[in-house]
Structure 1
Amino acid sequence: MPWLLAIALLVGSGCYRRVITPKHLPKDLVAPHVTNAKAIDLSRLSGFASTKDFIEIGDVIEVTIVAGASDQGPLSIPIRINADGTALVPLLGSIPLAGMRVEQAEQIIRQQAMAGGVYVNPHVTVVLETKDANKVTVIGAVENPGTYELPRSSSNLLTAFVAAGGLTSNAATNIEVRSPAKQHFPLNRQRQNRLANYNDANQHVQPVSRSVKINLVTASNAGRGVNLKDGDVVMVPEMDQNPVTVLGLVKKPADYKLPSDRDLHVLDVIGMAGGLTSPVADKIYVIRRIPGKPEAQVIKVSYHKAKRVRRENIRLASGDVVSVERTPLTVAFDVFDRFVNFGVGATTQVPMF
């Protein structure tokens, strides 16, 4: 059969390190546990959520100043908080307000107005009109991929996943968060005192970006929240869906899909393949490839040991090949079985006189 030739070539060609047993299985060959992303407690990924009463960069506040004994009339104007955290208040200039509560901002503006002599004992009211939002894109294995505006006070992974409708059943637990590239213009020493022209600027543009890989299980267990910035892209890949191939002395050799909600072991997949075709079959080869390495590794498993010892019934990984091998014992048993069947058949055909 073709699969026998393929296995023989693989085992005999040296395209693997060595044949090892489950007892001596190194850590890099241990198949990872299957974790259903939908079972992860996403609430632990919320990160730091600032109070809505805090003033943040990009927010719009409405400042109303009612004068006391002053010749200035009432002043009411919407003001956006600048990137440096300041608010440009007419007649008063730039006042740092980012990070303050509205009550604190009212006191600071009042003190500034009195210190400058612009107002005498003014009454100041600050209203937080609009909270600025971060535009975050969520793509991949989520129910509703897209770009969403998240309040900066709660711009985190939890909010992003909720906005995108949650993770799909085949979402992987390792995700990536990419931040947009920023333009960086290194200083041209020969032209420090001159404005660089358009071509010079383009020659020195260097995109600077950030990419962070996150394991959702680890982050959730540690309660480590992940905050997102404006322009971030959350990439959720699908689980590795390569099937497990079962060959050899089984009733239904085929490819079998890995479950998305539980681990799959050697005995499980042999059961899925209908069981063994020979009662004396015992030797099983699990052929496993490690990502990034060209050679395959062969793990030798005993069927009967796997039924008795939990360690022998190894967990399978995506893309594994499970081959139930022929041995001298299985060949001898087949010959004996055929001989017995042939003898029984011949006896039943002897004419009776």
Structure 2
Amino acid sequence: MNPLRQTLYLLLSAFLTVFGCAAHAQDKPDYLLATGDSVHIQVFQNPDLSIDARVSETGSISYPLIGAVDIGGLSTMAAEKRLADALQKGGFLQNPQVTVTLVQVRGNQVSVLGQVNRPGRFPLESINTRLSDMLANAGGTTPLGDDTVIVSGVRNGKPFRQTVDVPALFLEDKGAGDLVLQGGDVVYVNKAPVFYIYGEAQRPGSYRIERGMTVMQALAQGGGPSARGSERRLRLHRKGTDGSVQQIEPQLTDAVQSDDVIYVKESIF
């Protein structure tokens, strides 16, 4: 490659890198400061005005010379401009260069609870953090976790609650269901429904119910009948809506429901 072509190639690569970073920044808006967040403020060539502050319940901080400044709900860049404008309008500095650095996030956080690998509280890194992002932060669901999650919080001043089918977000192209989360939201992953199998089964116990699972598949999950058992001699105990337990002789193609108890009888022969 000749020197001119190499130079043009390097310039093009640099342009694409800068353009890609800018596009990514547009796709991921800045974090908005919230109550409880800690920030470090610096003013170029004015060390006396460099302070650490915490956003109060009213969304403000106390700043030297100016007093209370509302920065809650602003990005760090917007907060820098507000502080610089206040210093200039107050006649304290002619052309202040202010830098606001987010030190600790305490305000815009989401709680992820239940059957996840790392339950806890996680900060909203941007204003369009989605449910799938937060589940990834929590390490995903455990093997016992349900396929649906419950998101609760407040929207427009009213209680909000929605159940989301997570696999459907990706398998059925329903990306619109990937909720944009807000500070204070709670994401809860319940235990997946289970069934129980006992009697002449090779591996009696409780098992997770997969989608569309039939009695035949449930029997296979338990290792199938033992040498003394028979797949033709099954009894199913199912709780009805009134709380009573029904005894059913199921077909192998019947669907398994939550908390079903399958008993494998001994073979007649």
Is the contact between residue 144 and residue 208 of structure 2 (CA under 8 Å) also seen in structure 1? Answer: no
Instruction: Identify which of structures 1 and 2 has the higher relative contact order when contacts are C-alpha pairs closer than 8 Å and 6+ apart.
Output: 1
**What's the counterpart of residue 51 of structure 2?**
77
1:317 aligns with 2:257: yes
Q: Read off the aligned partner of 1:151 and give its amino acid letter.
A: P
Q: Which residue, 231, 238, 245 being the options, matches 1:288?
A: 238
Matches within 5 A, 1:260-299: 261=210, 263-269=212-218, 272-273=224-225, 286-290=236-240, 293-297=242-246
Q: Distance in 2 between matches of 1:264 and 1:213?
A: 25
Is the contact between residue 156 and residue 227 of structure 1 (CA under 8 Å) also seen in structure 2? Answer: no
Which structure has greater strand proportion?
Answer: 2
1:128 aligns with 2:83: no
TM-score w.r.t. structure 2 length?
0.57
Look up the SS of the partner of 1:123 in the other structure: coil
Matches within 5 A, 1:44-83: 51-52=30-31, 54-57=32-35, 58-64=37-43, 75-83=49-57
Q: Distance in 1 between matches of 2:77 and 2:264?
A: 74
Alignment: residue pair count: 223
Shift of 1:177: 6.6
Shift of 1:142: 3.1
Q: Distance in 1 between matches of 2:248 and 2:98?
A: 73
Matches within 5 A, 1:167-316: 167-175=141-149, 214-217=163-166, 220=169, 221=174, 222-229=177-184, 235-245=188-198, 255=204, 257-259=206-208, 261=210, 263-269=212-218, 272-273=224-225, 286-290=236-240, 293-297=242-246, 313-316=253-256
**What's the counterpart of residue 5 of structure 2?**
none
Provide Cα deviations, 1:300-322, integer angstroms capped at 9, x if missing partner. Answer: 65x5xx6xxxxxx2211243245
Is the contact between residue 143 and residue 166 of structure 1 (CA under 8 Å) also seen in structure 2? Answer: yes
Shift of 1:96: 2.0
Is the contact between residue 170 and residue 260 of structure 1 (CA under 8 Å) also seen in structure 2? Answer: no
Q: Read off the aligned partner of 1:238 and give its amino acid letter.
A: K
Which structure has greater helix proportion?
Answer: 1
Q: Read off the aligned partner of 1:133 and give its amino acid letter.
A: R
Matches within 5 A, 1:9-24: none
Is the contact between residue 176 and residue 211 of structure 1 (CA under 8 Å) also seen in structure 2? Answer: no
Q: 1:287 to 1:79 in 2, by over 3 A?
A: closer
Where do 5+ consecutive residues of structure 2 fail to align? 1-26, 154-158
Q: 1:122 to 1:173 in 2, by over 3 A?
A: same
1:151 aligns with 2:123: yes
**What's the counterpart of residue 115 of structure 1?**
89
Provide Cα deviations, 1:262-290, integer angstroms capped at 9, x if missing partner. Answer: 543133456622699899x7x97644214
Shift of 1:130: 1.3
Q: Distance in 1 between matches of 2:85 and 2:112?
A: 45
Is the contact between residue 284 and residue 324 of structure 1 (CA under 8 Å) also seen in structure 2? Answer: yes
Matches within 5 A, 1:84-95: 84-95=58-69
Shift of 1:132: 1.9
Q: Read off the aligned partner of 2:260 and give its amino acid letter.
A: D
Provide Cα deviations, 1:38-79, integer angstroms capped at 9, x if missing partner. Answer: xxxxxxxxxx97524x44432314041769xxxxx9733333
Q: Distance in 2 between matches of 1:286 and 1:242?
A: 10
Q: Distance in 2 between matches of 1:99 and 1:60?
A: 13
Larger-gyration structure (1/2):
1
Is the contact between residue 65 and residue 124 of structure 1 (CA under 8 Å) also seen in structure 2? Answer: yes
**What's the counterpart of residue 3 of structure 2?**
none
Is the contact between residue 209 and residue 256 of structure 2 (CA under 8 Å) also seen in structure 1? Answer: no
Q: 1:317 to 1:65 in 2, by over 3 A?
A: same
Q: Distance in 2 between matches of 1:92 and 1:278?
A: 83
Give RMSD over aligned pairs: 4.7
Look up the SS of the partner of 1:319 in the other structure: coil
Q: 1:110 to 1:80 in 2, by over 3 A?
A: same
Q: Identical aligned pairs, as a percentage? A: 19
